[in-house]
Structure 1
Amino acid sequence: MSDHTEAAPRPSSSARPAAGVRRRSQGELVLRRFLRHKAAVTSLVVFVAVVLLAFAGGALWRYDYADITSAVSQPPSLEHPFGTDNLGHDTFAQVLRGTQRSIEIALLIAFLAGLVGTLWGAFSGYYRGITDSVMMRIADLVLTLPLLAVAAVLTRATNGSWWFVALVIAALQWAYVSRVVRGVVLSLREKEYVEASRALGATDRWIIFRHLIPNALGPIIVNVTILVAAAILVETALSFLGLGVQPPDTSLGLLVSEADTAVSTRPWLFYFPGAFIVVIALSINFIGDGLRDAFDPTQRKARS
């Protein structure tokens, strides 16, 4: 029998964690994946630039959107970069004001629809049974309503105040978010940490607000982001039909509507606000695509 016992093999240096290495949090991993999405990062920079131009530039620009100048129906120049309309309004100032109002409406719609849809879907998915059936049938009913037709009827009865336009559109958009949140909550409610909280006597509201909704934030953020782009287009369509924001206030959709008959004679009145609509909608869609890949990287692999 040997006097020496066999020494245990030492773990290789590659198996040992390097000194000073810190495990990344979920938020850091999401941020890293988002930053690798070049189109999303570029779109985020573009969108932030548009927001800063609209709100800061509108306050610093020499003309107010309601000012009437002596230059009537003038093409773009150094004095009026986007030209002027037939009344002498500076189109650049009006586009900045219209961008402000359209972004405010879109963000308010996304916030309200996201909040209502998240709560509705979370409670529906958690309680299931009859509660789920009734709540989802209501959501299905909202989804079947023709958005533009119903919004047009409801906004027609008002004076076109922008907050009411946002309220009407949000009331017709929350069901999309609720469907997504319900599906996520149905899977999360069976997780071990939810069962443990329930066994420890946690209330249903505590479980929903402390465990389920925070763990469903990824899909919620993605869908709310995409909802901003959809809200911009819906508001544009309503204003184009004359059922959204009303003068003397303005929005991008209203500017496009007022210039649709001047495309051949004064094209700058139509194309500049139209270009801002396209840029905002596209940039937000790319941001939403990047967030989707960041929160769920398997989605990108499935599409490639």
Structure 2
Amino acid sequence: MSTTEGAPVDLEDGEAGGSIEGRSPWRLAWERLRRDRVAIVSFVIIVIIVLVAILAPLVASITGHGVDTQYRANGLTPDGLPKPPSGEFLFGTDDLGRDILVRIAYGARISLLVGVVATLITVGIGVIVGLAAGYFGGVVDTILARLVDVVLSFPFLLFAIALVSITGPSLKVAIIAISAFSWASVARIVRGQVLSLREREFVQAARSLGASDSRIMFVDVLPNVLAPVIVYTTLLIPTVIVVEATLSFLGLGVPPPTPTWGGMLNEAISYYQVAWWFIVFPGAALVITTLAFNLLGDGVRDAFDPGSDRLINAGKGD
């Protein structure tokens, strides 16, 4: 603790002497995040995966193998089984003689596209519903809260099966099915935050100055709930990726021959005893991607709420 002109000033992170500069919560969160080695490594892995997805055509060009090209002459054994990893096929081939490495690269496009797009739609709907429910309260809050309860109680897989049976499997249907049920959790989080903010002094001051409800909601209140929304968004992306893989595995996602990690796992079921690479490499791609996003999300959460671990550890010690 130091004083400047009689006023106490806290010194953080061992900063002693010299000028003391105030730092916003966002800057403090960034400084904590960049010191988190696990989060940084996870971010680097995610960047690599994104680059692989973007450069999937380049991967196909370097290997000389098309994503849907079947190399039955040199991609299958004389018994018609997939070939193991080799200099020609680095990750081996699948049951049709296609290059697994190329298909994993293209499959990353689907997983990341669905993960990001469905998450953005989910968060957008959830934030709007949560803001309206928490800010207006009363009848609006009751109606929207009951709607959230209904969505959370409806079986997601049943809805996905019904939707696919009507429209047929496609990328668009997968995004709609995931977004239609994921927004409710975001809305509940935002609603709880807004309920604790709507009677604060800065909101009352904005009302007294004649600000409109929409301006107060999106200019004054929303920035104060962005931190938990960002944390939840980071943790939601891997969940959506797993859900998309599950839908594709069950035949409810993107239809073949478009490569998806879930679809590749489904194709490998009959061959895992004789072609381990067929199931290991797509499975590893899915696990590494979701793990990297989860670890990054944990780092973002700890950056915004550095006391959470201390509270948990303190509880364990009681």
- TM-score w.r.t. the length of structure 2 is 0.87
The separation in 1 between residues aligned to 2:134 and 2:213, in whole angstroms, is 12
Deviates more, 1:102-111 or 1:59-68: 59-68
- What are the within-5 Å matches in structure 2 for residues 1-304 of structure 1? 19-62=18-61, 63-69=65-71, 70=73, 71-72=75-76, 73-304=82-313
Please say which structure displays the higher CA radius of gyration: 1
Change (3 A) 1:21 1:58: farther
Number of the residue aligned with 1:7 = none
1:190-232 Cα offsets, whole Å, 9 max, x none, are 2211110000000000000101111111010111111111111
Change (3 A) 1:240 1:115: same
Kept in 2: contact 1:57–1:96 (CA 8 A): yes
Kept in 2: contact 1:152–1:238 (CA 8 A): no
The separation in 2 between residues aligned to 1:236 and 1:156, in whole angstroms, is 18
The 3-state SS of whatever aligns with 1:61 is: helix
1:102-132 Cα offsets, whole Å, 9 max, x none, are 1101111100000000000011000111110
Q: Any unmatched runs of 5+ in structure 2?
A: 77-81, 314-318
The separation in 2 between residues aligned to 1:104 and 1:177, in whole angstroms, is 20
The Cα of 1:249 is off from its aligned counterpart by 1.2
Deviates more, 1:159-168 or 1:251-260: 159-168
Q: Any unmatched runs of 5+ in structure 1?
A: 1-9
The separation in 1 between residues aligned to 2:36 and 2:98, in whole angstroms, is 40
Number of the residue aligned with 2:79 = none
The separation in 2 between residues aligned to 1:55 and 1:270, in whole angstroms, is 23
Aligned length: 294
- TM-score w.r.t. the length of structure 1 is 0.91
The separation in 1 between residues aligned to 2:58 and 2:23, in whole angstroms, is 41
The separation in 2 between residues aligned to 1:161 and 1:216, in whole angstroms, is 34
Identity, in percent, stands at: 36
Kept in 1: contact 2:52–2:108 (CA 8 A): no
The Cα of 1:274 is off from its aligned counterpart by 0.6
The 3-state SS of whatever aligns with 1:216 is: helix
The Cα of 1:183 is off from its aligned counterpart by 0.6
The separation in 1 between residues aligned to 2:278 and 2:292, in whole angstroms, is 22
Letter in 2 for 1:301: R
Deviates more, 1:48-57 or 1:112-121: 48-57
The Cα of 1:60 is off from its aligned counterpart by 3.7
Deviates more, 1:66-75 or 1:136-145: 66-75
Kept in 1: contact 2:56–2:106 (CA 8 A): no
Deviates more, 1:154-163 or 1:39-48: 154-163
Kept in 1: contact 2:163–2:173 (CA 8 A): no
- How large is the RMSD of aligned CA atoms in angstroms? 2.0
Letter in 1 for 2:21: R
